Each structure stands twice: as structure tokens, then as C-alpha cells.
Structure 1
Amino acid sequence: MEPASQGDPRVLFAMNLVLSTAFASVVVWGLSYIDVVPFTVVNVASFALVLMAVTYVVTR
């Protein structure tokens, strides 16, 4: 039985970046809708970086 492929790390990084940014933008938009935080690029990018870091730690 062959070991499972881990995939190309560049593709995994790009997918993580796109999906984390999309999810972060939805969450920040929702929080701005209820006036918790403003919807800014900095807030979306910060939350996306946190999500990417958590995803990296969980999958390792």
C-alpha cells in the first residue's frame, strides 16, 4: 500500500489563504453589521492570518 500524498505545499498554502480570507471577510462583515467591529481591510487580513495560523497548527 502506497503512502498518501500530502499534496503540493504551495497549492495548500494558496487554498488556505483564499478560504481563510473569504471566511474572515464574511465574519468581519457580520460583526460590522451588528456594530461590533468596523469592516476594514486590516480587520479582514488580521482575522485571516489568525485563521491561517490556527489551520496550520491544527493540521500539523
Structure 2
Amino acid sequence: MASQGDPRVLFVMNLVLSSIFAVGIVWGLDFVGLVGFTVWNVASLALLLMAVTYVVTR
């Protein structure tokens, strides 16, 4: 029987990694002129990435 881990730790890891990835993606899109680098854009993408990660891993 494998341990699933503490859900709080998994949530925080998902939040941190999704946020870092979102910053990189939005920065790159801002660099090429597609979107602006704003907190709203980064937060929205981070939430989207967290949701996708949750669905894929369940």
C-alpha cells in the first residue's frame, strides 16, 4: 500500500511550482509582446496550471 502523502504539502508544492512556471510563461509572452506581465495574468495562469495538474494527477 503506497502512501499518498500529506495533501497540504502537495497543495503547497503545486502552488509554488505552478506559480514559478506561470511567471516564466507570462514573462516570455510579455517578452514577445503577446500579453502584459501583470500580477493578474500570472495568478490566472497559476490557478489554471494548478487545476490542470490536479485533474491530471487524480
Q: Tell me the TM-score normalized by structure 1.
A: 0.96
Structure 1 vs Structure 2: percent identity of aligned residues? 72
SS at match of 1:39: coil
- Partners in 2 of 1:4 and 1:18 — Cα distance? 25
- Partners in 1 of 2:2 and 2:20 — Cα distance? 28
Instruction: Provide structure 2 residue ranges, at least 5 long, that are not aligned to the other structure.
Output: none
The one-letter code matched in structure 1 to 2:19 is: T
Equivalent residue runs for 1:1-60 within 5 Å: 3-60=1-58
State which structure, 1 or 2, has the greater radius of gyration over its C-alpha atoms. Answer: 1
Q: Tell me the TM-score normalized by structure 2.
A: 0.99
Instruction: Provide structure 1 residue ranges, at least 5 long, that are not aligned to the other structure.
Output: none
Cα RMSD over matched residues? Answer: 0.2
* Moved beyond 3 Å, runs of 4+: none
The aligned length equals 58
